[in-house]
């Protein structure tokens, strides 16, 4: 077969991953899949059972096309389709997801930082300073000013700081209660989040319970 490969097959620890081109037609894809299984990868068809993961890239397919892919592989004997995955649709992600801004320094009194996406600040926010973004805010330092996460309505956003002593916290349209009601003496990093429309504070070690995949750290 000549030209660009539409399917790349990679071996991983627990089986095989099929990387499928997301720009060609479905018929072209199936034709190459059958060709690879019958010719260049015929050795895969002997031996123990092998689990296969199909990666579709940005392609969105119907249930009927999923069945066509599964059937093409199922006919080959020892290959079992474990999963079929497409990349996340940007339109379905929270506002600002995927855009991470990393800053260093101190946000001083009277200074305002606004970002479209997530913010990772390696420094402090002093009293009178403020940070605002459409996604999450992580401050590797002291938060003593104001922080507003999810400023375009993302109620799943969080605000975290190594030292949580803000004058005000906001997530989406929710404004924090008076500081004395939620401020703790805990020296561990903490994060603020919304639960049932109310602001709550917890240890950063519990963030995984609130969010399975903290996207703010991707790419760091």
Question: How many CB atoms sit inside 10 A of residue 25's CB?
Answer: 10
CA–CA separation, 182 and 166 (whole Å)? 11
Q: Do 109 and 212 fall into the same domain? A: yes
CB 30 within 8 A of CB 69: yes
Q: Are residues 61 and 168 in the same domain?
A: no
Cα–Cα distances in Å, from 43 out to 1, 31, 138?
18, 19, 50
Give residue 144's pLDDT.
93
Question: Does 175 share its domain with 114?
Answer: yes
Q: Please count the CA atoms within 13 angstroms of the CA of 125 that sit on its side-chain side.
A: 33
**In the chain, at which residue ranges do the beta strands (DSSP E only) sit?**
7-12, 15-20, 50-55, 79-85, 100-104, 112-115, 118-122, 130-133, 137-143, 146-149, 159-164, 168-171, 174-175, 190-195, 198-203
What pLDDT, on the 0 to 100 scale, is given for residue 188? 76
- Per-residue model confidence (pLDDT) at position 93: 52
Q: Which domain-ending residue is among 64, 87, 110?
A: 87
The series of mean pLDDT values per 10 residues for the chain, 220 residues long, is 75 86 90 82 66 88 90 83 77 58 92 92 95 94 94 92 92 78 65 89 81 45
Residue 143, Cα to own-chain centre: how many angstroms? Answer: 25
The whole domain housing 35 covers 7-87
| pLDDT confidence of residue 1 | 45
User: 87, 110, 129: which is the final residue of a domain?
Assistant: 87
Q: What is the distance between the alpha carbons of residues 24 and 149, in angstroms, rounded to a whole number? A: 40
Q: What does residue 27 show for φ and ψ, rounded to 5 degrees?
A: -65, -40
Both 50 and 149 in a single domain? Answer: no
Q: pTM for this one?
A: 0.54
CATH number of the domain that residue 157 is part of: 2.160.20.70
Per-residue pLDDT, 216: 42
In a domain, 93, yes or no: no
How confident is the model at residue 49, as a pLDDT?
83
> Per the structure block, which two tokens stand in for 57?
């890239």
- Shared domain for 197 and 165, answered yes or no, is yes
**Do the bridges between strand 112-115 and strand 174-175 make them parallel or antiparallel, or are there none, so unpaired?**
unpaired
Q: Are strands 137-143 and 159-164 parallel, antiparallel or unpaired?
A: parallel
């Amino acid at each position: 077969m000549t030209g660009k490969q539409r399917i790349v097959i990679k071996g991983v620890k627990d089986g095989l991953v099929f990387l499928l081109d997301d720009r060609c037609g479905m018929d072209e894809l199936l034709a190459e899949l059958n060709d690879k299984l019958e010719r260049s990868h015929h050795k895969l068809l002997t031996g123990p059972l092998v689990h296969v993961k199909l990666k579709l890239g940005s392609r969105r397919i119907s249930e009927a096309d999923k069945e066509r892919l599964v059937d093409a592989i199922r006919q080959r004997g020892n290959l079992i389709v474990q999963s079929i995955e497409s990349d996340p649709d940007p339109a379905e992600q929270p506002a600002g997801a995927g855009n991470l801004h990393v800053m260093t320094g101190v946000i001083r009194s009277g200074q305002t930082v606004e970002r479209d996406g997530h913010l990772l600040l390696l420094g402090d926010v002093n009293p009178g300073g403020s940070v605002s973004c459409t996604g999450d805010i992580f401050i590797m330092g002291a938060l003593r000013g104001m922080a507003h996460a999810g400023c375009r309505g993302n109620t799943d956003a969080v605000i975290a700081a190594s030292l949580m002593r803000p004058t005000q916290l906001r997530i989406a349209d929710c404004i924090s209660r008076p500081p004395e009601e939620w401020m703790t003496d805990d020296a561990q990093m903490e994060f603020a989040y919304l639960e049932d429309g109310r602001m709550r504070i917890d240890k950063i070690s519990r963030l995984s319970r609130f969010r399975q995949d903290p996207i703010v750290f991707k790419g760091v």
